[in-house]
Amino acid sequence: MEKYGFFGGSFNPVTKAHVELAEEIRNKYGLDKVIFVPVGNKYNKIGLVNEIHRYNMLKIAICKYDNLEVSNIELNKEKNLTTLEAFNMIEKKYPNVEKFYIMGADNLNKMMLSSDFEILAKNYKYIIIERDIANCKELINSNSKLRKNEQNFIIMNNVKHRETSSTKAREELQKNNSANTMIDKNVLDYIKINKLYL
């Protein structure tokens, strides 16, 4: 059975670190494919550019990679999807693969606040990107639902990309700095042509 990773997020904008992380995760955990799943326009986040731009930027950023893809499964929706709703859609679309949901440790914290948290912890497998593995292990140990389903959580250290984020990339763009250390050149060209993050 093939193994796919589903990397959710706003990707506002996608950075070089996102793509490098996806490739590292794919290689480290023997995944056949990593699929980026950008959130739609209804996601409640200040400064979120239109979903079509974030989708297009992802397509540009991964065009040289054979085993990375972008899914539009969360786009063009009339409401913000819950994590469980998004997962259910992915489960239906990719029924015959082993699935791993890739997320930052901050999203694990958010997931714990969900009314579906017990179902999410029990029924799905995760690769958690953590800057401090000790903190993530402490979080799992401190929560009975996480502890009971500990086997579903793989924690990956992210020391290499600690200083890169979409927020920092946007700040550089808004200062009229190039942000070329953080963002792929072709993605930067797309941002300039479409006058994003000004």
The span from the CA of 131 to the CA of 104, in Å, is 9
Over residues 128-149, the pLDDT tens digits come to 998 766 688 888 889 999 999 9
Q: Which residues pair with 157 in a beta bridge?
A: 130
Angle at alpha carbon of residue 68, lines to 33 and 101, rounded to 5°: 55
Q: How far is CA 20 from CA 16, 68, 90, in A?
A: 6, 11, 23
Q: In what order do the strands lie in the sheet with 153-157?
A: 68-70, 33-38, 3-9, 98-104, 126-130, 153-157
Could you tell me which residue, 42 or 157, shows the higher pLDDT? 42
Q: How far is CA 103 from CA 174, 186, 188, in A?
A: 26, 25, 24
- Whether the pLDDT of residue 162 is over 70: the answer is no
- In the DSSP assignment, the letter for residue 150 is G
Average of pLDDT values for 162-180?
Answer: 81
**Per-residue pLDDT band at 45 (split at 50, 70, 90):** confident
- Whether the pLDDT of residue 163 is over 80: the answer is no
